[in-house]
Structure 1
Amino acid sequence: MPWRAGTAGSPIAECTAYVTLEPCGHTGKTGPCADALIAAGITRVVFARHDPHDVSGGGASKLQAAGIEVSCTPCPEAQRVSDPFCRRVTQGLPSITCKWAQTLDGKIATRSGHSQWISNETSRRVVHRIRSRMDAIITGIGTVMRDDPLLTARLPAGRPPKRVALRIVFDPAFDIPHSCQLVQTSCAIPVGTPVRTVDTMPAGRAPTIVCISDHAYRSQTVKVDSLSREGVTVIAIPEHGRTMPSLEWVARELVRRYEVTNILVEAGGGLTGTLLKAKLVGELHVFIGPRLLADDRAIDPARMFQIEHIQDGTELALRRARVLDGDVELKYRVVKP
C-alpha cells in the first residue's frame, strides 16, 4: 500500500536503508532526505560516499543525532551513479557522453554526409530514452546544416520524458539559419534557471542555446537580437587568442547558468574529436549497424587526433554490450583520455 514519510504505520520502520549518496540534510526541490528517513523509523543507513556539496551535505550528522546508525561503505558501482553530481559540485564540470551510430568499419556517414539510417529503429528508441535522462544535448553546426535535427526525446505514447534537455549548438561563426527546427521550436530559458522539467515547458518546445565566438557576437548583433526574439539564447564564448573557442568554458558555463549535470553529444567527428582531445568526455555510447561502406573518404566518428603509437590512444573500459535486433550497442567508460 502507498505510504508517505512522516505518517504512522511505516512499513519500513526498523529497516536498513542502502543509498548511493549520503542523504541530504537541507531543503531544496524536496525536503531533507535525512528527515524523511528519521520519520520513517529507519534504524540504520549505509551510503557509498559522502555528499561533497557544502549546502546539501551533513545529512549523516543529522541521522546520528537522531540515534540512527550510519556508515559509509565505498562501492565503485554505487559511486558511479553519483559521479556526475560529484563532478559538477567539486570540479564545476558536467559529465559528458558522446553518442554515435557507425557502420561495422567505423563510419558515421558516407562521403556526402548521408547517414540515415545506419542504426535500426530499436537502437533509435534507445537513443530517445537516453536523451530523456539528459540535462543537455550538444551538437555542432555541421550536423544542424546537414540533418536539421530536433534533438528531443520522443518516447512511446503514454511515457513522457522526465525532463526536456537544453539543446546546445556549437557554432563559432554563427551560421545557424532561422529556418532550422532548433530555432523554430525554441523557448527562452533565463540565466540562473535550473534545467527545466516537462510540466514547465511550453508544448512542443525546448530551450535552444547557440554558442558563438565573441567576434561573431560583436559583429552580428542584428542576428543575435533576431534569434533572441525567437526564444533562442545566444552565448558569446571568450576566445583568449585561441583559433578555436574553448569547449571547457562552454561546459563550465552550462553548469554555472543552468546547473547542468549530464550532457549527451550527438555531433560529427570534428566536435566529438575536439571534446575527446580536451579530455572532457567520460563515456561513449556507440551503436554499430550491420553495414560496410569500405570508403576511405567516408566520415569517421572522431577526428582532431594525430597519434603515432597505439598506447597514446584513448583507453576505454567496456561497461555494457548487447544486441538490438541486429545492431550492437556498446557503452564505454573513458579510463585514460
Structure 2
Amino acid sequence: MPDDARARARDDAPGAVTEASPGPLTAAEGMDRAVALARRGPAYGPNPRVGCVLLAADGTVLGEGWHRGAGTPHAEVAAIADAAARGSDIAGATAVVTLEPCAHTGRTGPCVDALTQASIGTVVYAVADPGDASSGGGEVLRGRGIRATLVPHEGAHALNRRWLAAMRAHRPYVIAKWASTLDGRMAAADGTSFWITGEEAREHAHRVRASVDAIAVGTGTVMIDDPSLTARPGGKQADHQPLRVVVGHTDTTGKRVWEGGGAVAIDSRDPHEILAQLWAREVRTLIVEGGPTLLSAFLRAGLVDELNAYIAPALLGAGPSVVDDLGIGTMADSLRGQAVTSERLGADTLVTALLTEGV
C-alpha cells in the first residue's frame, strides 16, 4: 500500500490515533499511554473507558486505540485496526490494555476473539472486568495459549472508578448533589433558591451533568423550581445530555423538564425500585439532585456512593434543609464521608466525599 493511502486508511480506522505515537515503550510506559488514550473516551454510557497499545518486542508501538462509546469498536479492536492501517505485523505482539478484554458478545464481538485472531502473543491488563457476562477474558486467553497477566495500575482504576462500583453493585453509581447555604438551607423560607451559588459553581455542576448518564429529581422540585435539568457547560447545550428522571406520583405535565424529549417519569418513591428501572436502561451513573425528600430517601436507604455539596457563604436561618430526618439518633451513628476533598469555585466551595466502601 502506498504511504499516502496507508495514512488515509489509518485516519479512517476505528479509534485511529492521528498524531505520532511515542517512541519505544516499556510495558509500564505502554500502560500509561493506554490510560491517556482511554481518557479520550466518554465518561458516560454503559461501557467503561478503555485504551489499548500494541507493542513489539523492542517496545515499538505497532497500533493504538480507545473505546469511543457504546456500539463502537472496543479499544483492542480499534488498536488492531490502527496497526493494520500502519502496515504493522502484530503476530506475537504484546497488547497493553487498561481493562481485562471482554469475553462476551454485546453490541460488538468478544475482544478475546479479536486478539486471538490477530495472533497476539501476550496481553497485559490493569483492571479485572467485574461484569457478570463480560468478565473472565484473561482466563479465556490463557486457555488459548496467550499469556494474559493482571498488572494493577492506579490510573486505570481511577479512570473507571464509578463504572466499576456500579458493575459490582449491579445498580447505578449514585452521586447526591446539592447547593446550600452555610447553615444548610436548600432554599429560602419563601421557596426561592435561584441562585444560592455563583456562576463558577453552577458551571462546574453543568460539566458534571454532561459526564453522567442520568439526573433524578422529585416531582416537588419540578413543580416548585421548574428546572430544565439539561447540561449547559459554557452556557451551551452539551452534545451529551443525561436522561432526565422525574420521581414521584404527582403529574408534572407541561413543565420544562419534558421539553425536547430525553425525560422519563418513575412512579415510585422507593430508591431500590428507581435504581432497578434505571439499571435496566443502562444507566451507570446517576446524580440525585433533590429536593430534600428524594435526597433523604436515598441516604436512608444507604444507596448514595458520593456526595457533591456546593456550599455558598450565605446564611438564611430558615427554609428547607438539605436533608430530612435520616433516623440517626446519636453522633456515633452519623454518616461520615471518606476521601474528602474541597475545591474553591469563586466565592463558593465544593466538598466531595465517598460514602460507600470500595469505590
- Taking structure 2 as the reference length, the TM-score comes to 0.67
Superposition CA RMSD, Å: 3.0
CA–CA separation in structure 1 for the residues paired with 2:340 and 2:159: 13
Q: C-alpha separation between the residues in 2 aligned to 1:308 and 1:251?
A: 27
What displacement does 1:263 show? 0.6
TM-aligned CA distance change 1:160 to 1:209, over 3 Å: closer
Aligned to 2:282: 259
Q: 1:74 to 1:207 in 2, by over 3 A?
A: same
Q: What is the aligned partner in structure 2 of residue 287 from structure 1?
A: 310
Query: 1:121 and 1:307, CA in 2 relative to 1: closer, same or farther beyond 3 A?
Result: same
Q: Which residue of 1 aligns with 2:125?
A: 46
- Please give the per-residue CA displacement for 1:160-212, whole angstroms capped at 9, x wherever unaligned: 43x3222111122x242x221123x1xxxxxxxxxxxxxxxxxxx23222222
Q: How far apart are 1:319 and its partner, in Å?
A: 4.2
**Which of 322, 331, 336 is the aligned partner of 1:310?**
331
- C-alpha distance in structure 2 between counterparts of 1:207 and 1:92, whole Å: 23
Q: 1:10 to 1:118 in 2, by over 3 A?
A: farther
User: Following superposition of structure 1 onto structure 2, how do residues 1-337 of structure 1 map, counting pairs within 5 Å?
Assistant: 2=18, 5-6=80-81, 7=84, 8-10=86-88, 14=93, 17-19=96-98, 21-34=99-112, 39=118, 43-54=122-133, 56-64=134-142, 68-74=146-152, 78-79=156-157, 81-156=159-234, 160-161=238-239, 163-172=240-249, 174-176=250-252, 178-183=253-258, 185=259, 205-212=260-267, 237=268, 245-256=269-280, 258-293=281-316, 295=317, 297-335=318-356
Q: Distance in 2 between matches of 1:332 and 1:52?
A: 26
Please report how far the alpha carbon of residue 291 of structure 1 lies from its aligned counterpart in structure 2 after TM superposition: 1.8
8 Å contact from structure 1 (residues 49, 73) kept in 2: no
- The one-letter amino acid paired with 1:279 is G
- Asked if structure 1 preserves the Cα contact closer than 8 Å seen for 2:300 and 2:327, the reply is no
The alpha carbon displacement at 1:147 in A equals: 1.0
Shift of 1:105: 2.2
Equivalent position amino acid for 1:328 in 2: T
Unmatched tracts of structure 2, length 5 or more:
1-16, 19-62, 64-77
In the aligned structure 2, how far is the partner of 1:107 from the partner of 1:158?
Answer: 29
Q: Residue type matched to 2:262 in 1?
A: P
User: Do the aligned partners of residues 157 and 169 (structure 1) sit closer, same or farther apart at CA in structure 2, a change above 3 Å counting?
Assistant: closer
Q: CA deviation at 1:138?
A: 0.4
- How far apart, CA to CA, are the structure 2 residues paired with 1:80 and 1:247? 26
Return the TM-score normalized by structure 1.
0.71
Please tell me the residue identity of whatever aligns with 2:302: K
**Paired residues, number:** 277
State the shift of 1:152 in Å.
Answer: 1.1
- Answer yes or no: is the 8 Å Cα contact 1:165–1:206 preserved in 2: no
1:11–1:98 CA distance, 2 compared to 1 (3 A): farther
Counterpart position of 1:189: none
- Partner SS for 1:281: coil
Q: RCO higher in 1 or 2 (8 Å CA, sep ≥ 6)?
A: 1
- Are residues 157 and 26 of structure 1, via their aligned partners in 2, closer, same or farther at CA, if it must alter by over 3 Å? farther
Contact 1:140 1:170 (C-alpha < 8 Å) held by counterparts = yes
**Whole-angstrom CA distance in 1 between matches of 2:235 and 2:191:** 32
Q: Secondary structure at the match of 2:179?
A: strand
2:212 aligns to what SS in structure 1?
coil
Q: SS at the partner of 1:315?
A: coil
Task: Tell me by how many angstroms 1:156 deviates.
Answer: 3.4
Q: Would the alpha carbon gap of residues 323 and 16 (structure 1) be closer, same or farther in structure 2, given more than 3 Å must change?
A: farther
Q: Deviations over 1:200-229 (max 9, x none)?
A: xxxxx23222222xxxxxxxxxxxxxxxxx
Q: Is the 1:149–1:181 contact (alpha carbons within 8 Å) kept by the matching residues of 2?
A: yes
Deviation (angstroms), 1:139: 0.1
Assess if the C-alpha contact under 8 Å between 1:88 and 1:255 holds in 2.
no
Give yes or no for contact 1:139–1:168 (8 Å, CA) kept in 2. Answer: yes
Structure 1 gaps, min length 5: 186-204, 213-236, 238-244
3-state SS of 1:122 partner: helix
Q: 3-state SS of the aligned residue for 1:323? A: strand
Q: Percentage identity across aligned positions? A: 31
